[in-house]
Chains A and B, each alone.
Chain A
Amino acid sequence: MKSSNKSLLPELLDAWESTYKKGQLTLWIFLALRDEPKYVDEIRTYIEHITAGTIKCEEQSLYRNLRKYLHIKVVSFDLRKGNKGPDRKYYKLTTLGDELLQRFIDRNIQLFYVPEIKKLLFKTN
């Protein structure tokens, strides 16, 4: 009985993670841009690197999101020379975008640093 429960674990974790990851892309894009201005491919590799591969994003999805962020003025870009071909768009957070990210962190991420919750997060049996 116990071993059949354990065999369910990877499947359950996958299902939970796939729900959990929905809605996370914005946070990771904003964090990538807070680090420093980046062009699309740099954002993609940066996110995959800092999340140790748990968050993967396709370029099309990044472009779609960046278009929305540009439209609502939380992101802007500078054109810089690429190695070859046309100039690259280096995206960066605007003041509004940075403030939005900070408020989001204060309300949703800081919670994990409350001692009581932190103790539970790192509790081992």
Chain B
Amino acid sequence: MNKALATFILVASILTLIFRYGLSSAITEKSWGFLIAIAVIYGLSMFASGWYLGKKDNQELPIYDLGFRFHLSTFLVYHAISIIWIISGAGNPNENLFTIYIGMGIWSIFLTIHAIFYLVERRKAIASLDKDELFE
């Protein structure tokens, strides 16, 4: 793990915490407009931070992983925080683990497809670095 990925995990954790808080509040207040807004803002900010820190990550070392480390980190951070949020009772009573597990199952399919692409494309790398960017 390098500095850019560690920063992304930290940023993603903070954004997810804010999102969970906002989501629980919106459900409690039955404020559906706010719920949609916070979901869109969360999605966009996660995408923007992944984009920016992914570029930084590549500048540091051109690790050839097709963004898989960032995807896996997002998956783990989102679900870990969501599960802890609900188990700790911080969420709205209408939020439950079952919904989280359904989301996790669907997301796992995409994560697995991404992992397969990553494993297939790994032959384009030497010691995990992109062959085309190794020597300049």
Contact = CB atoms under 8 A, between A and B. Distances in A.
Given A23-B135, A26-B135, A64 B126 contact: no
B136 A67 contact: no
Interface string A1-44: 00000000000000000000011011000000000000000000
Q: Sort chain B's interface into a size bin.
A: 10 to 19
A68 B129 contact: yes
B99 interface: no
B22 interface: no
Given A22-B136, A26-B135, A67 B127 contact: no
Interface residues of A, number: 12
Contacts of B61: 67-68, 71
Main secondary structure of the interface of A (DSSP, over half): helix
Contact of A71 (B59, B129, B135, B136): B129
Interface of A: 22-23, 25-26, 61, 64-65, 67-68, 71-73
25 contacts: A22-B136, A23-B135, A23-B136, A25-B136, A26-B135, A26-B136, A61-B136, A64-B59, A64-B60, A65-B136, A67-B60, A67-B61, A68-B61, A68-B62, A68-B129, A68-B133, A68-B134, A71-B61, A71-B127, A71-B128, A71-B129, A72-B126, A72-B127, A72-B129, A73-B127
